[in-house]
Amino acid sequence: MCQIFAGQDPERYQLETRRMRLNGQSTSIRLEHSFWAILDEIAEGEGLTTPGFVSKLHDEVLELHGESKNFTALLRCTCLVYREMPPKAEGARIAAE
């Protein structure tokens, strides 16, 4: 069983640092390639750039909780929640628009 996990392409878990502005401050966020790929997908689905999506998420977290003690962990969990969501039915998506 561990071969499924251990045998994956190391590129998937290679760290990547991206610079962006959050709350007007320039910062760097370091995540694995796999998580960046999912965040890119989420952002595209929302009609935003990845930095725009991450910034919007950061703003919403500040509004709801006052702070995020571990924002990179929040981003990883966001990816997990996104992957666990049922796929949208095409008709439901169109009706919502």
**Per-residue tokens: 56:** 């919007």
pLDDT of 68: 85
At 57, is the pLDDT very low, low, confident or very high (cuts 50, 70, 90)?
A: very high
* Mean pLDDT (the chain, rounded): 88
Q: What pTM does this model have?
A: 0.83
Measure the CA–CA gap between 12 and 33, rounded to whole angstroms.
Answer: 5
Pairs from 16-20 (Cβ < 8 Å, separation ≥ 24)? 18/50, 18/51, 20/50, 20/51, 20/54, 20/55
> Would you say 75 and 31 are in contact if contact means Cβ atoms under 8 Å apart?
yes
Please compute the mean of the pLDDT values over residues 48-54 and round it to a whole number. 96
Measure the CA–CA gap between 24 and 40, rounded to whole angstroms.
Answer: 21
pLDDT exceeds cutoff 70 at 94: no
CATH number of the domain located at residue range(s) 10-90 in this protein: 1.10.3990.20
Tell me which residue has tokens 């990179």: 72
Please compute the mean of the pLDDT values over residues 28-50 and round it to a whole number. 96
So where are the chain's domains? 10-90
